[in-house]
Every structure is written in C-alpha cells, then in structure tokens.
Amino acid sequence: MQTFRAEDGTRLAFRDEGAGLPMLALAGLTRDGRDFDYLAHHLPRDVRLIRLDSRGRGGSDWAAPETYNVAQETRDALALLDHLGVARAAIIGSSRGGLIGMVIAATQKQRLLGLCLNDVGPALEHAGLLRIGSYVGVAPTVASLAEIADRLPVAMPGFHRVPNRRWQEEAVRHYVQLKDRVGLTYDPALRAGFDKALAGGPLPPAWPLFEACADLPLALLRGSDSDVLSRETAAEMCERRPDMVFREVAGRGHIPFLDEPEALDGVACWLALVREFAARPAAPAPLQPGLVG
C-alpha cells in the first residue's frame, strides 16, 4: 500500500496494481479499497487497478469530520490521479464511490474514460439509507470476527445463497480484530456527516449528475434485492441512457460483491466500450474547471 497527501495534508492510502488502462475503484461510505479484491482476480491483464481508501477509511488518516463529504472526497480522488500522473481514468464506484464518479462527470468530465456504477444512481431509497445509518459509526458488541461472520447474513438483507466462506472474507474486510473485541475499519465520525445529510428527510434526486455522464461509456450493476437502488430508478436510468450496460445481479442486495457472473459480464462489456472511447482523441479541458463545494 502506498500513500500521498491530500490538499489539506491528510495522508491517503491507495493500491496501484497492474499496467494499461487506468481504472480507479472507489468504495462505499464505510468501506475501503479491499472491497474490490473479488473483482481484481478477474480483471484482464491490460487493466491498471487503482484503489483509494477514502479519508477516514482503511489505511488512510482520520480527518476533520466536516471533510467527510462527497465534494472533498471527489477532490481527493482527482488528487490521487494527479499524484500518479493519470490524465484520464475509468471509474468503478460502489455506492458513495459511484456518487463521486458522477460528480467528477459533472465537474471534470475530461478526466473520465467511463463510469461503472455499482448499486447506486441519482435517486436513493430513503429506507435503505436509514438502514445503513442504523449501523454507521456503531462499534460491534461482539468479541470476535467469527461472531461477525455469523451475523452478517442478517445484517445484510437481500443476500441469498452466499457461502459461509464469503461471510468470513467480508468480516475480515469490514472489521478489525482487537484484543478482546471487534473494531471498525473507519472513523466513527463518518456518522455525523451521514446524519446531517439525512436530517432534512429523503434526499432529492440528482438526475443532472446522471445526465452529466452523457457520451461516456456507462454501466450500471444492481443487486436484484437492493433496498438502496430501486428497480424503478434503474429502469429510468436505462430509459435515459439506452446504450448503458445494465446487469441485475441475482440474489444480491446493496452492494454486489462484483465477482458474480452478471457483474463480471457487465464489467467486461463496459471495459470494451471504455477501450474504444480511450482510443479517441481526448476532449479539450474547459477553460475554468471547478468542483462543487
């Protein structure tokens, strides 16, 4: 794992593996780059997988709680590409990572080669967000990762026919074994920003962010039993972008693991479109690029 410094001095951790087409992987709210371990084993050799641990997660520093927001994390993602000298990259984003990808499309589109959204879209279901909010920042009350693995099938609704070994792998990726208890792999202060975002009730749809992805190779993966991305929203996304690669992953809630057959097929089809897009001349950068505040 390598590190670099964000604009405010926060040390951010990342993995940079492979050579060829740069693909930046951005994880969900409480997760980190290890979320893409399952997918990494299936990627073709000509893909350079760059995985960022967003601030406050995984191997990155905990930061000021007010910086745990999509706008700052968007700047961090672009700063990583700058640090690596990557002018354009494809982005695969799970949940919050997909939101960051759409913000980049809306503000720095010339940096993108394509966007693959994993169980996220411009409209998010309030009930699913409330479920996530019920555990964000809450330390487990169990003593071992084995107990966590036993509880995950109930804690993650919508997942079916998942072998016990996978739950054990998930427990290791999303929790840490301490001396006599299990701890979180992220800053509990993430909860403050999440609660603030939902304080006013359901989040308004952000269709302009989705529309900003026009002309980019686009893919959507949806867990068939997701409580965050509804079938109706996915259907409207497909209607607005008939050329979008869409795969529904059977027996999965929020979010698919990304090594399911449907997910792998969707990513492969999307990467084929990305390669074609990457072969075109890059569009000129806008005169005054900017990020949302």
pLDDT the model gives residue 291: 41
pLDDT the model gives residue 198: 92
- 60-106 tens-digit pLDDT: 999 999 999 999 999 999 999 999 999 999 999 999 999 999 999 99
Q: Is 60 in a helix, a strand, or coil?
A: coil
Q: 220 near 121, Cβ under 8 Å?
A: yes
- 113-133 tens-digit pLDDT: 999 999 999 999 999 999 999
Tell me: pLDDT of 236 over 60.
yes
Tell me: pLDDT of 290 over 70.
no
Write down the domain spans for the chain.
2-137+199-278, 139-185
- Residue 24: in which H helix or E strand, if any? strand 21-26
Q: Where residue 227 falls among pLDDT bands split at 50, 70, 90?
A: very high
Q: Does domain 2-137+199-278 have CATH number 3.60.20.30?
A: no
**Alpha-carbon distances of 16 from 25, 47, 51, 145, 176, rounded to whole Å:** 10, 11, 7, 28, 23
Tell me: pLDDT of 282 over 60.
yes
Distance (Å, rounded) from C-alpha 271 to C-alpha 109? 18
pLDDT the model gives residue 292: 39
- 161-171 tens-digit pLDDT: 999 999 999 99
Sheet containing 89-94: give its strands across.
Answer: 2-5, 11-17, 47-53, 21-26, 89-94, 112-118, 218-223, 245-249
Identify which of 31, 51, 28, 30 has the alpha carbon closest to the alpha carbon of residue 39.
Answer: 51
Our separate counts of H helices and E strands in the chain read 10, 10
Tell me the residue type at 254.
H
Tell me: pLDDT of 285 over 70.
no
Distance (Å, rounded) from C-alpha 30 to C-alpha 45? 29
**Burial (CB count within 10 angstroms: exposed 0-12, middle 13-18, buried 19+), residue 14:** buried
What lies within 8 Å, CB to CB, of 292 at 6+ separation is 71, 74, 103, 106, 107
pLDDT the model gives residue 289: 47
pLDDT higher at 107 or 284? 107
CA 24 to chain centre: 10
Tell me: pLDDT of 178 over 80.
yes
* Exposure string for 190-219, b = 16+ CB within 10 A, e = fewer: bbebbeeeeeeeeeeebeebbebbeebbbb
pTM: predicted TM-score of the whole model, two decimal places: 0.94
Q: Where residue 286 falls among pLDDT bands split at 50, 70, 90?
A: low
Q: Where residue 280 falls among pLDDT bands split at 50, 70, 90?
A: confident
pLDDT the model gives residue 51: 98
pLDDT the model gives residue 225: 98
SS (H, E, C) 195-232: HHHHCCCCCCCCHHHHHCCCCCCEEEEEECCCCCCCHH
pLDDT the model gives residue 284: 61
